[in-house]
Structure 1
Amino acid sequence: MKRIIYCLLLLAGSLFFFSCKMQQDRKEPAPGIFTGKEGEIKLVVLDPGHFHASLLQKFPQKQVNDTVFVYAPGGSELDQYLASIEGYNSRSENPTAWIGIVYSGKDYLEKMIKERRGNVVILAGNNLKKTDYIYQSINAGYDVLSDKPMAINSENFRLLESAYDSARTRNVYLYDVMTERYDILNTLTRELVNNVELFGELQEGTPESPSVKMESVHHYYKEVSGSVLVRPAWFYDVEQQGEAIVDVATHMVDLINWQCFPDEVIDYRQDVKLLSASHWPTTLTLDQFCRSTGLDAFPNFLGKYLNRSLLEVYGNGKFNYQVKGKNIEVCALWNYEAPKGGGDTYSAVIKGTKATIEIVQNQEEKYVKQLYVEKEPSVTSEEFDRSIAGTVKQLQRSYPYISAKRVSDSRYRIEVPVESRKGHEDYFGYVAQKFFGYLVNRDMPEWEISNTIAKYYITTQSLEMARNR
C-alpha cells in the first residue's frame, strides 16, 4: 500500500513539473536584468542615420554602460554619428566617456541579432527600414527605444502591431521617443486642459471648426548644436523618410492623445474615425538640395520627384479625424529655410467649455513660443480671474517660476521665463530616463501602448486617404 501511495505521489510531482514547464514554454520568462544599478543598460545603436541617435547619448546617465555596440553599414551617416559621439567625449563641460565597439558590414543586422551583446536597441535613421528593425530586435529579445516615426505606411503599421504583440510575449518593451511632451509649455497645456474649474470639458467641435487644431512648421536647411545639419539624400525621398503626415505629425497626434485624453486607453478600432486628408509638395532647386546635403547633383533615386529640374517633396499635409467624438485637425509643413530670426514653429488651439488654451509662436512673438488662456463668452470675468489665480497658485507648487499676465479683458499669458525652459536636445535625455524607469519597474501603462498604436493608425491611414483623393 505504501508503495502505491509513493508511486502516486511521484506521478503527481512529475505531472506538476511538466505542467509548470509547459507554462514556461508558452510565455518566455521576464528578463529580470534591470534593477537600476550603475552600468546595467548596454546600448546597441543600430544603423544611426539620423542625428537623434547621437542626441540620446549627449548626456551621461549612470544606469547606462559606457560601452556602446554599434552595428551599421559603413558610410557618411555612420561617420557623422561617430563624430558627434567624439564631440561629446571631448567637450570641456560635462564630457561623456563613450566607448564605441563598431561593426560595419552588409550583414550588420544579422550580426547584431547573432551576437546579442547589449540589451537595449536605439533606433534613429532611415524610416523605411525602421519598422523591420523594430520587429527583428523585439523578436531577438531586445528592449527598443525608437525615434519617431515607427511606421510610415500601412504595411509598416501592420508590422508594428505585430511587434507590440511579440513584445508582450517576450516581456520586453518598445517605446517611442516623444520628446515634445517635455517641452514645459506642452506640459503646462496638459495641466490646464485637465483643470475642470478653468477649462471645463473638451468641446466636441465640428470638422469645419475642430475643438483641437495643431500646426508644426519645419525647415530642411537649419543648424543643430551650432552646426549646419547635413541631411542624407534619402531624407528627400518620402518613400524612405515618410511624408509630413506620417513623420512630423506623429508628435502632434501624440500630444493630442496625451493632453486631451490623459491616461485613457484609445482603441483605434472603436475610438478613432478618420474624416479627410490632403498633401502637397515643397519644391527645392538643385542649389538648395546641394546646400542641404553636401552633394553636387540629385541622385538617380530622386529622379521620380523631379519636375522641370525642381525637386518636389511631399513635405506638407493636413488631416481631420475624431477621437471619442471630438473633432481634431493636424497640419504639418516643411519650408526650405526659416525667415531671419526664426526657426521651426508650432501652434495649437484646444477649446474647452470654459476656456481655450492656445500656444503661439510667430513673428509677433519674436518666434518665442508662448502660452495663452482665453475665457469663453459664457464665463464672467470675475469667475475667469478667480480660476486663473487658483490654477497658477496650484501649478506653482511644481513650477514655482511661472506666473500669469493679463493681456486683455478675456485673455492671460502664462509666463514661463526663457531661462527656465529646457532646449529640444535636453528632451532626449528625459525620454531615455522615462524608458529606463519602465525597464526597472516593469510598469509601462497600457495606454502608452494602445495610444501609440492608435497614433500610427491615424497617421498611416490619413496618408493613404490623402494619396487616394
Structure 2
Amino acid sequence: MRNQSHIFMLLSVVFLGACSGSGQKSAETEETQSEFTGAKGEVKIMTLDPGHFHAALVQKQMYEQIDPTVYVYAPKGDDVQDHLNRIEGFNTRAENPTNWVEKVYAGDDYLERMLAEKPGNVMMVSGNNAKKIDYIKAAADAGINIFADKPMAINTEGFALLEEAFKSAEANGVLLYDIMTERHEITTIIQRELSKIPEVFGQLKDGTAEEPAITKESVHHIFKYVSGNPIKRPDWFFDTEQQGEGMVDVTTHLVDMIQWEAFPEQILQKSDVEMVNASRWTTELSLDQFQEVTQKDAFPEFLQKDVVDGKLQAYTNGEFTYKLKGKYAKVSVIWNFQAPEGTGDTHYSIMRGSLCDVIIKQGEEQNYKPTVYIQATIDKGLNTFEDGLQKAVSEDIATKYPGLKLVKLEDKLWTIEIPDEYKVGHEAHFAQVTEKYLRYLKQGKLPEWEVPNMITKYYTTTQALKMAKQ
C-alpha cells in the first residue's frame, strides 16, 4: 500500500471506476449510501477540488469505518498536487504512518465526472469558498452525503443556495455537515460546561453593545507552520471573491461557539438574530510576503483590483456585534502576516454570568496556550461560591474530563489546570469531528438542532458582511 507514489503524480492520473461515465452506482455503494452500520470500510470518501490544507487534515489518521481508498476529483494544478503531497507526507512519516490510496481524476470536468461515476458515498470538500456552495448543492441534489470545511457560504447569495442544499439533503436522506473543530478545544468545553451550572455561573447576562454577554476574538496568521512544514497558500486565498472576507471565514467558528455555548442544544432560527453593527478592514501584504506564502512570482491578474502602490490590501479582518435571542454577542477576527518568534494564533473569549465571568485567554502571559479563568463578580457568599466551583471542576465536569484542578490565583479569581492529554491541538480536532460525523452517518441523522443552527450561523455571518459593506 505504501508504494503508491505514482498515484501522487499528476502525470499518472488514475481514471476511476466506471470510466464509461454511466453514472450507475455499484450494489455496494447503493447499499451503504442508504444505510450505514459502522462496518469496516463502508464509508467511501470522494475529495472534491481540495484547495485548502484542511482537506488533508481530515486524513491525518486512519478510521476503521472509512475505506483507505479515497477518490480525488479536481482541476489540474498546484492545489491538487499540494493536497496529494500532504497525504503522501502522512503516509511516509516515521510515527504512525497512514496508508491512504489516492485515486485521482484531474480535468476540467471534475465535478461532472464525480457526479457521474460516484465511487463513494461521502463528499469531502475544502477549498475555494466561492465554488464550494455550488459543489455542496450539486452533491446534495445527487444524494451524496457531504462533509464540508467552513465556510459553506461567504455571501447572501451563497447563503440562499445553502438553504436550498439543506432542503435537498433532507429530501434525499443524506447528511450535510460542516467541520466545527473548535467545539473540541478543551478550554471551550470547560467554559461551556461551567456556564451550564447555575450554582457557579448563575444566568448569562443580557449584556450591552459596549459590554456583550459573550465575546469571541481571534488573531490568526497568514504565514504559519502546519504538520511541521511552512504553509503554502493558493494565490486565490487572498481574493475575497473566491476565499470570502475574514468576517465570513474564521468567524464561522466564533459564531458557532457562541450558539453552542450560550444556547446548548437549543434550536435557533434566523429570526433570533438582530445585527447591531459591523465593520471590516484590510491586511497589507508586500510582494515579498505574498511570494513567501504562495510561492508565486507576482500578484495575479484577479488580485490587481486589490493592489495599491504595489501592496496587496486584503479584507481579512472584521468584527460585528449582534443580538441572539436578546443576548448581546461580539465576534472579531484579525489576520496578521506572521506571528513574532515564539508566539502564535491567539484566542480570547468571555461569557458574563450573574455570579462570575468565565474567560479564555491565550496571550503572552499564558505563553500563547489557551487558559481558563473564573472571575467572581459577587461580593457576598464567596465561600459558598468557591465550594460550588470546586465541586463543579472536581466532580461535575470530572465525570467526562477527570484530572482538572482548580487553582486560586487571588481573591475572586481562579484558573483551571488541564492535563496535557486533553490539549490535543487544532490539527487533531479534525479527526475528532470526523469521528463524530461517522457516528451521525451510522445513526442516519444529525441532532435536531444542528441543521437549523447551521442555517442561523451562516445567516449571521453573511448578514454581518452585508451590513459592513453598506
- TM-score of the superposed pair, with normalisation by structure 2: 0.92
2:389 and 2:35 map into 1 onto residues whose CA distance is 47
Find the partner of 1:261 among 260, 263, 270.
263
Partner of 2:366: 365
Partner of 2:294: 293
- 1:374 partner letter: Q
- 1:69 partner letter: Y
1:277-333 Cα shifts (integer Å, max 9, x gaps): 000101111111111111111111100001111110111101010111000010010
Identity rate, percent: 45
1:29 and 1:354 map into 2 onto residues whose CA distance is 53
Residue aligned with 1:78, SS: helix
List aligned pairs for 1:16-31, cutoff 5 A: 31=33
Partner of 2:37: 35
- TM-score of the superposed pair, with normalisation by structure 1: 0.92
Asked whether the equivalents of residues 207 and 327 of structure 1 are also in contact (C-alpha less than 8 Å), the reply is yes
- 1:202 partner letter: L
1:243 and 1:159 map into 2 onto residues whose CA distance is 18
1:102 pairs with 2:101: no
1:393-431 Cα shifts (integer Å, max 9, x gaps): 222222122101001100100111345411111111111
- 2:146 partner letter: V
Partner of 2:180: 178
List aligned pairs for 1:420-459, cutoff 5 A: 420-459=422-461
1:311 and 1:95 map into 2 onto residues whose CA distance is 39
- 1:332 partner letter: V
1:240-279 Cα shifts (integer Å, max 9, x gaps): 111111001000000011111001000112x111111000
Asked whether the equivalents of residues 36 and 444 of structure 2 are also in contact (C-alpha less than 8 Å), the reply is no
List aligned pairs for 1:2-401, cutoff 5 A: 31-269=33-271, 271-393=272-394, 394-401=396-403
Residue aligned with 2:281, SS: strand
Please report how far the alpha carbon of residue 123 of structure 1 lies from its aligned counterpart in structure 2 after TM superposition.
0.4
Residue aligned with 2:242, SS: helix
1:57 and 1:142 map into 2 onto residues whose CA distance is 19
Based on CA coordinates, which of the two structures has the bigger radius of gyration?
A: 1
2:117 and 2:326 map into 1 onto residues whose CA distance is 48
1:196 and 1:205 map into 2 onto residues whose CA distance is 18
Partner of 1:4: none
1:176-204 Cα shifts (integer Å, max 9, x gaps): 10000011111111101111110011000
Please report how far the alpha carbon of residue 134 of structure 1 lies from its aligned counterpart in structure 2 after TM superposition.
0.3
1:71 and 1:154 map into 2 onto residues whose CA distance is 27
1:30 and 1:454 map into 2 onto residues whose CA distance is 31
Asked whether the equivalents of residues 30 and 171 of structure 1 are also in contact (C-alpha less than 8 Å), the reply is no
- 1:458 partner letter: T
- 2:450 partner letter: E
Partner of 2:6: none
Asked whether the equivalents of residues 318 and 332 of structure 2 are also in contact (C-alpha less than 8 Å), the reply is yes
Asked whether the equivalents of residues 30 and 170 of structure 1 are also in contact (C-alpha less than 8 Å), the reply is no
Asked whether the equivalents of residues 32 and 42 of structure 2 are also in contact (C-alpha less than 8 Å), the reply is no
2:39 and 2:32 map into 1 onto residues whose CA distance is 18
Residue aligned with 1:149, SS: coil
Residue aligned with 1:404, SS: strand
- 1:400 partner letter: P
Asked whether the equivalents of residues 143 and 174 of structure 1 are also in contact (C-alpha less than 8 Å), the reply is yes
1:130-180 Cα shifts (integer Å, max 9, x gaps): 001000011111000000000000000000000000111011000010000
CA 1:201–1:30 in 2, change beyond 3 Å: closer, same or farther?
farther
Please report how far the alpha carbon of residue 116 of structure 1 lies from its aligned counterpart in structure 2 after TM superposition.
1.2
Partner of 1:461: 463
Q: Which piece of structure 1 moves more, 115-124 or 84-93? A: 84-93
Q: Please give the root-mean-square deviation of Cα atoms over the aligned residues, in Å.
A: 1.4
CA 1:108–1:30 in 2, change beyond 3 Å: closer, same or farther?
closer
2:343 and 2:33 map into 1 onto residues whose CA distance is 47
Residue aligned with 1:396, SS: helix
CA 1:379–1:235 in 2, change beyond 3 Å: closer, same or farther?
farther
Asked whether the equivalents of residues 278 and 320 of structure 2 are also in contact (C-alpha less than 8 Å), the reply is yes
2:296 and 2:107 map into 1 onto residues whose CA distance is 24
Please report how far the alpha carbon of residue 436 of structure 1 lies from its aligned counterpart in structure 2 after TM superposition.
0.9
- 2:170 partner letter: R
Asked whether the equivalents of residues 42 and 120 of structure 1 are also in contact (C-alpha less than 8 Å), the reply is yes
Structure 2: runs of 5+ lacking an equivalent: 1-29
Asked whether the equivalents of residues 346 and 360 of structure 1 are also in contact (C-alpha less than 8 Å), the reply is yes
Please report how far the alpha carbon of residue 33 of structure 1 lies from its aligned counterpart in structure 2 after TM superposition.
3.0
Q: Which piece of structure 1 moves more, 382-391 or 249-258? A: 382-391
Structure 1: runs of 5+ lacking an equivalent: 1-27
Partner of 1:6: none
1:203-226 Cα shifts (integer Å, max 9, x gaps): 001112111111011011111111
Please report how far the alpha carbon of residue 378 of structure 1 lies from its aligned counterpart in structure 2 after TM superposition.
4.6
Asked whether the equivalents of residues 319 and 330 of structure 1 are also in contact (C-alpha less than 8 Å), the reply is yes
1:379 and 1:273 map into 2 onto residues whose CA distance is 35
- 2:101 partner letter: I
